[in-house]
Structure 1
């Protein structure tokens, strides 16, 4: 089966979730971040994800911006930082996260070969629109799908249903791409073909399904046909 539809997670896959903390740390007004920004960025992302999973199993959904704020507040407190201006700046920068360098060319190559492309993300519609516009990739995407349409976070199967509902494609026509091992397990178990972008060289998660491809970055995605 030839893939017709290439679907990407957003945060950590197309967009660098560490970029906000790194950028703020370089600004004189937020010098307190200089020594701690990598740990803060790590904790921020970890708590952001944990809160989505816990809210999903507890059936207490909220929008992704709320868990993003809550995760940052935890990470700031863990570092002993209590500066409202720094908090505000970090949240402001999260709306314009940098895309990884290879993203525009990779998406352009897929579109040039006639493929359908989409984002499927926990992010709220407003967050995703801001990130896509900031990265300048809106013209290279056929759809930006947010879980807010259904009110449950990944890796619930209803989230992956959104791809078929939007594109009318079979599951085996989809290549799903994510940097998150748990998201790859969800998509693989659902029936999508998957590519895990393993930036950190981590072991494969011991879950119910494995990735079909393991990559260091997104450069070679157009070669997976």
Structure 2
């Protein structure tokens, strides 16, 4: 089936979540990668815990709290860089293939959206910074439903907003847990496995596994 509706996760799929730390790697020191990994892991953990508790706090607040925790876990990292890292998170690099892939899909007549845990302001800044604002038709933020992925209400924003059945939408994410949630909801899912991670959630298999978004173009032509 050829799809004309493509929805992309933002962080880790379009935008490199480790770009902020990498930009200041020299100042942070040898444990920069560890700091970045803890920051990302806690950011996600906080989103899941808050969803389960029914105690929503927007993603930017969780991002700040996660970085503070990461600094406490990695005391060698200079806490004076906190604001620089937070500022950098608003302008994350997108992965190299992203602009060309989205432009090609758009040129072929596809409808494109982002569906993300990010707050509206974070997502608008990232999209503008990466010059993707001309190709992305809609940005769906969980802020509208005050639940984080993988709550079905999050994925339902797209089907309701676009008036499409789930199977008509191709959903791309680098996060395996997100792919599991979207598969359960009924989307046609594509796991962008950038770092060759082992599979999990084997009862909720993606429709396709790709090492980058570039494979979408081949898949749609086949």
TM score, norm. by length of structure 1: 0.94
Cα separation, 1, equivalents of 2:59 and 2:203 = 26
Give 1:83 deviation, angstroms. Answer: 4.5
Partner of 1:5 in structure 2? Answer: 5
Give 1:167 deviation, angstroms. Answer: 1.1
Preserved CA contact (<8 Å) 2:172 2:192: yes
- The answer to whether the aligner puts 1:22 opposite 2:22 as a matched pair is yes
- Structure 1, unaligned runs of 5 or more: none
Give 1:85 deviation, angstroms. Answer: 2.9
Cα separation, 2, equivalents of 1:214 and 1:220 = 9
Preserved CA contact (<8 Å) 1:3 1:172: no
Cα separation, 2, equivalents of 1:154 and 1:180 = 11
Q: Please identify, of 192-201 and 178-187, the stretch whose mean Cα deviation from structure 2 is larger.
A: 192-201
Partner of 2:131 in structure 1? Answer: 136
Residue among 138, 141, 145 paired with 1:150: 145
- The answer to whether the aligner puts 1:200 opposite 2:177 as a matched pair is no
Deviations 1:20-56 (A, max 9, x none): 0000123xxxx2x120111111110000000000000
Preserved CA contact (<8 Å) 1:184 1:194: yes
Cα separation, 2, equivalents of 1:40 and 1:211 = 30
- The answer to whether the aligner puts 1:172 opposite 2:167 as a matched pair is yes
Cα separation, 2, equivalents of 1:185 and 1:194 = 8
TM score, norm. by length of structure 2: 0.96
Preserved CA contact (<8 Å) 2:71 2:79: no
Partner of 2:87 in structure 1? Answer: 92
Cα separation, 1, equivalents of 2:178 and 2:211 = 17
Equivalent residue of 2:214, what SS?
coil
Alignment CA distance shift 1:218-1:134 (3 Å): same
Cα separation, 2, equivalents of 1:66 and 1:159 = 19
Partner of 1:34 in structure 2? Answer: 29
Partner of 2:106 in structure 1? Answer: 111
Alignment CA distance shift 1:82-1:224 (3 Å): closer
- Structure 2, unaligned runs of 5 or more: none
Cα separation, 2, equivalents of 1:194 and 1:97 = 24
Cα separation, 2, equivalents of 1:198 and 1:131 = 22
Equivalent residue of 2:24, what SS?
helix
Aligned-CA RMSD value: 1.2
Preserved CA contact (<8 Å) 1:189 1:208: no
Give 1:206 deviation, angstroms. Answer: 2.7
Cα separation, 2, equivalents of 1:200 and 1:19 = 15
Cα separation, 1, equivalents of 2:111 and 2:120 = 20
Cα separation, 2, equivalents of 1:21 and 1:82 = 11
Q: How many residues align?
A: 220
Residue among 116, 122, 131 paired with 1:121: 116
